Structure formats: C-alpha cells, structure tokens
Amino acid sequence: MVESKIAKILSKGQFLVSGEIGPPKHADPSEIKKHATLLKDYVDAMNLTDNQTAIVRLSSIAAGVHVLQAGGEPIIQMTVRDRNRIAIQSDLLGAYSLGMRNILCLSGDHQSFGNHPTAKNVHDVDSLQLIRIVKDLRDEKKFACGEEIKGQEPRFFIGAAANPFADPFEFRVMRLEKKINAGADFIQTQCIFDMERFERFMALVRERGLHKRAKIIAGVTPLKSARAAKYMQQSVAGMIVPDEIINRLEKASDPKAEGVAICVEQIKHLRTIEGVAGVHIMAVMWEDIIPTIVKEAGLYPRPKVE
Amino acid sequence: MIIAEGKPLVEVAGLIKDAKKVLVVGCGGCVTVCLAGGEKETGILAAELRLLRKKEGNPLETVEVTLTRQCDPEYVEMLNKYVTDDVDVIVSLACGVGVQFLAERYNKWVVPALNTKFAGGTVAHGVWEERCGLCGECILYKTGGICPIIRCSKSILNGPCGGSQGGKCEVNPETPCAWQLIYDRMQALGKLELLMEIQPPKDWSKSRDGGPRKVVREDVTIDG
C-alpha cells in the first residue's frame, strides 16, 4: 500500500512540485507553521532539511510534525553525519509513527562548514546504505542487523539526492543508478543553473533507462541578487552557476523579479526534458516566493489526492 | 608508520612546571623517521626546556635517553637505571603507545611531548600524509588500493558524495577527493564496473568501536 501523497501523484504521471523549509535555529515553530500554511496549496510536498550546512536547527522530524499539522506533506531529510544505524532506525520508526511518509537520504554537509566544526562526525553508514536500510525496513520488514520487525514496519517513499554538477561527471549517472539499485524511489537533484550540463546528465540517465526506474525531480533555486548568485558560484560545494545568470541579475533593475523570471524559465524548460518528473524549489530564506513561482510557471493549481 | 609532531614548547613546559628533574625519553621507531621524537629531537627539546626554565630563574635538570622502541617492554626495561627517585616527571617523545608503556612500567608522572597524528607515510621531504584508518578489516582490494575510510572526509564506501568537484574534496580545496582517485584508478585499470557493487555497512566492531583491540598470534606466544 502506498501511503505517500507524492508517490500517488508521481504514479499518475503528474508533474510534481516540491518545496523546502529550513527549520529555525531556535525552538519556536511559528515560522515553520507559517511557511507550511503558505505553501501547502502550491507544492505537493515540502522538504524539511536536517541541520543543513551542519548548523544546529530544529530537527527535521519535529518540523515535519508541524508541517503535517498545518496540512502539508513532509519529506524529511535525513543525513548520516549525525546518527549511527541505531539512531537512524529509531528515528525512522519514530518519524513513521508521527505520520511521515517520505524521506530523503543524504550524506550531509561536512561539520567543518557548520557552527560546530569541532564535532565528531558519525558516518557509520553512507547515504546509499541508508537507502538500503529504509528499503529493507519497508520491503523485508527487517532491521539493518537482519532482525525481523514484529509489528508495524515503517513504509517510506524513499528519496535520494543526485548532483549532476559534482565530479567525476560520468560517474554521477552510475552512482544515481547505484542509488536506484539500492532502493531509491525518487531523486531530487542539486539546484540546476547549468542547464546544458543537466541536459547531458539527463541524456545519460535516459540511456540507462533510469528515469523509468525512479522519478527524477529537478532542483531549482530562485536567486534574489547577483551577490547571492556569486556566493552560490564561489562558496557552495558541488555547485555550478554560469556567469550568464550573474550578468542577468546584475543588469536587472529589479533583481528579485529577474531571479523569479529566471527560475520560471528554468522550470518551463525542465518540463520539456524527457525523464524529468517534477521540480523541487529550494528558495533558501525566501520560502514566501514559492507560490508566485508555481503560479507563473503554470503549475497551479496542484492536483488533489485522495 | 605512526606519524607524530611535537607539542608546542610552552605546552610541554607547562606540563612539567612543578618538576625539578625530568627524564626526557626519545624513541627510535616511527617518530625518529618522521623527525618528531628521535635522539636529535629529544636533545633539542631537553635543551629548550632547560633554557626556558633558566630564563625563568627556576633551573631544570634533564636526563635524555632514546630507547630503540618505547612500544616494547624489552626496550623499556633499559630505562630502569635512569628512573631514579629524584626524577619528578618522565617526558616521552614517543607516540601515544610509548607514553602508555612508560606509564604502565613506572610509578612516575609521565607526560607526552608529541601529538600522535596518524598512520601514514612520507610524500615529500618533511611532508607526511595519512593513508590508513586502522579500521581492522582492509577493503583496499575493493577500491583500487585507495582507502576511502580515511581519505574520504565522510568515510563513504559508495562514493563520491556531491561535494567532489574538480577532483577536490569539499572540505579542503587542497585535499584530493579520495573517490575521484578511486574512480580514476578503476577506470585506468578497466575495473570501473566493480564500483557498481553496493558496499554494505561496514563492521565497525573490528575498528575502535569494539573497544581496545588485541592481536594474539598463538604460534609465537610463549606459554608461561
């Protein structure tokens, strides 16, 4: 039985729209609730990041509860940086018990980027092994140690990340295949600015038939300014931002509007690429702009799911 | 070998600030090769400590000895005649193993003069790099002779992660991405398909996670 809302939408071949909420660096959930309420009619699901860039934030699973209460569909992100296989499986059981149905399995940004650079990282398992653990919990009703789950098993729709802009380029598609072999049902990509490289990536994906085995959701990020674009270009690991985008933002009289226009253009183009099953809008610190982008991209209203 | 480097002089001086006489013990093993704790470094450290204390008007007496190896009780015994009642502190220039062997043997306050860094090798004169994570179960046959456990900053067994760009690790632009190296080598050797095999979670109980490890070779043990 498929319980995930996004699994239902994708299985019908409908173009998925997901958004992202970065939980706050404090214990007040009002911002999460506000964003979830604002976004729930414009996106089919919302990712809750897991201490992104290794900065301590309200937990992704707790944030997912607030999203559910606001009427949204959470995709909880889970990194292997901070948890060993015991904590991972415990959190998966807990998250499922609280109503979470979607997970995105990640390595996690290295702790040296965050606000606790002297922390010990865990990396007991890697993101690929995490995918397999989530799949075995669901399909084999088994814990990672092989022990049987006597009772309700957590049944997650399993997501994984792919970064077409990291190296080695040729191996990116092989690793995506590996993630699908491990059990990934859907893939969310790193934000796409270099469309030419993404198209080459998708050509290799189609060559291997991977788009038929997992749903590829293309990541986009609206940029507020040329400065934000330069920051992405220079300081964010595994990211390619072409100069052309920076030039457009620099020349624009209203850079925010230009950033939205670029993002909408990207979404419209991504919809034409065979094998792209949806878009994931990562509006970092700019969640309020998502409804505008979804409407302008012609993706509103969103499909209703029973 | 085990690579170590000297602690800052003021730190070592602080560790022995109440001592009047110290025994400064070097090691002829790995730390001699990596120029951190051999006879030469032992002499230099002792001289520097004496000089510092002289300046402070609180002279220090030092005795310097360099053992063949501090990680072997047979050689540690050679220290007996130097460990006299008036020695207040023993300063060890060995790795953490040597420091502990001295502390186990003698009823004296033993302090480390080095920071033990890693298991590695010499890559250029004066440059040493980590190569082995001492995980207890070698998988180098799966990765073309390049260790992802210690050379990947996330110890990923199914790499590379999304932070590999231009052959470098996201953590440090000077650090090669171990998985780029593995990819290049597997490709050069025509074994790229081996990387498609999903590596299962590692058995970390064979690493430090299982508690202090012990190797027993019964064929060479001498039963008392």
DSSP per residue, A190-221: EEP--HHHHHHHHHHHHHTTGGGTSEEEEEE-
3-state helix, strand, coil in chain B (%, to 5): 35, 25, 40
Nearest partner of B67 among B56, B57, B80, B76, judged by Cα: B76
CB-CB neighbours of B199 under 10 Å: 18
Cα atoms found within 13 Å of the Cα of residue A129, Cβ hemisphere only: 24
Q: Show me where the domains of chain A are located.
A: 5-222+275-296
Residue B44: φ, ψ to 5°? -65, -45
Whether A166 sits inside 8 A of B160 (CB atoms) is yes
By mean pLDDT, which of A54-58, A80-84, B156-160, B170-174 is the weakest?
B170-174
Nearest-angstrom CA–CA distance, B144 and A73 = 43
User: In this predicted structure, what is the pLDDT of residue A235?
Assistant: 85
Of B170, B198, B204, the CB nearest to A178: B198
Whether B159 sits inside 8 A of A126 (CB atoms) is yes
Amino acid at B10: V
Contact A291, A38 (CB under 8 A): yes
Segment A250-271, tens digit of pLDDT = 999 999 999 999 999 999 999 9
User: In this predicted structure, what is the pLDDT of residue A217?
Assistant: 98
Distance of CA B135 to the CA centre of its chain: 15
Considering the four listed CATH numbers 3.30.429.10, 3.40.50.720, 3.40.50.300, 3.20.20.220, the one that applies to the domain covering A5-222+275-296 is: 3.20.20.220
Residue A253: φ, ψ to 5°? -75, -30
CB-CB neighbours of B96 under 10 Å: 15
What's the average model confidence in pLDDT over B90-115? 98
Cβ-in-10-Å burial (0-12, 13-18, 19+) of B66 comes to buried
- The b/e string for B124-134 (b: 16+ C-beta within 10 A; e otherwise) is eeeebeebebe
User: In this predicted structure, what is the pLDDT of residue A2?
Assistant: 62
To the nearest whole Å, the CA of A304 is away from the closest chain B CA by 34
- Chain A residue closest to B181 (CA)? A168
Contact A48, A60 (CB under 8 A): yes
Cβ-in-10-Å burial (0-12, 13-18, 19+) of B160 comes to buried
What's the average model confidence in pLDDT over A194-203? 97
Q: Is B224's pLDDT higher than 70?
A: no
CB of B155 within 8 Å of a chain A CB? The answer is yes
- Pairing status of strand A74-79 against strand A102-106: parallel
Nearest partner of A29 among A56, A60, A73, judged by Cα: A60
Cα atoms found within 13 Å of the Cα of residue A266, Cβ hemisphere only: 26
CB of A185 within 8 Å of a chain B CB? The answer is no
User: In this predicted structure, what is the pLDDT of residue A306?
Assistant: 75
Collect all residues with Cβ–Cβ distance below 8 Å to A177 and sequence separation of at least 6.
A208, A210, B196
DSSP type of residue A189: E
Nearest-angstrom CA–CA distance, B22 and B87 = 5
Put the strands of the sheet holding B61-67 in their side by side order: B61-67, B21-27, B89-92, B109-112
**Residue A299 DSSP SS3:** coil
User: In this predicted structure, what is the pLDDT of residue B222?
Assistant: 86
First-to-last C-alpha distance (Å) of chain B: 31
Could you give the ipTM of this predicted complex? 0.94
CB-CB neighbours of A144 under 10 Å: 20
Of B156, B163, B198, the CB nearest to A237: B163
What does CATH list as the number for B2-118?
A: 3.40.50.1970
Segment A28-66, tens digit of pLDDT = 999 999 999 999 999 999 999 999 999 999 999 999 999
Segment B197-214, tens digit of pLDDT = 999 999 999 998 889 999
Mutation site, B165, B171, B203, interface A, largest A CB count within 10 A: B165
To the nearest whole Å, the CA of A128 is away from the closest chain B CA by 7
By percentage, how much of chain A surpasses pLDDT 70? Answer: 99
Whether B170 sits inside 8 A of A163 (CB atoms) is no
Kindly report the pTM of this predicted structure. Answer: 0.95
| Residues, chain A | 306
Segment B10-60, tens digit of pLDDT = 999 999 999 999 999 999 999 999 999 999 999 999 999 999 999 999 999
CB of B198 within 8 Å of a chain A CB? The answer is yes
Residues of B within 8 A of A175 (CB-CB) are 158-160
Scan for tokens 């070592």, then name that residue.
B12
Peptide bond into B73 cis (omega under 30): no
CB of B161 within 8 Å of a chain A CB? The answer is yes
Q: Is A77's pLDDT higher than 80?
A: yes
User: In this predicted structure, what is the pLDDT of residue A73?
Assistant: 98
The token duo for B19 is: 């001592």
Q: Is A115's pLDDT higher than 70?
A: yes
User: In this predicted structure, what is the pLDDT of residue A124?
Assistant: 98
CB-CB neighbours of A91 under 10 Å: 20
Nearest partner of A93 among A155, A51, A171, A1, judged by Cα: A155
Determine the Cα angle at A61 with ends A56 and A62, to 5°.
Answer: 80
Q: Show me where the domains of chain B are located.
A: 2-118, 133-210
CB of A238 within 8 Å of a chain B CB? The answer is yes
Q: Is B81's pLDDT higher than 60?
A: yes
Mean pLDDT estimate for chain B:
96
CB of B211 within 8 Å of a chain A CB? The answer is no
pLDDT band at A238 (very low <50, low <70, confident <90, very high): confident
Nearest-angstrom CA–CA distance, B80 and B78 = 6
Segment B134-154, tens digit of pLDDT = 999 999 999 999 999 999 999
CB of B162 within 8 Å of a chain A CB? The answer is yes
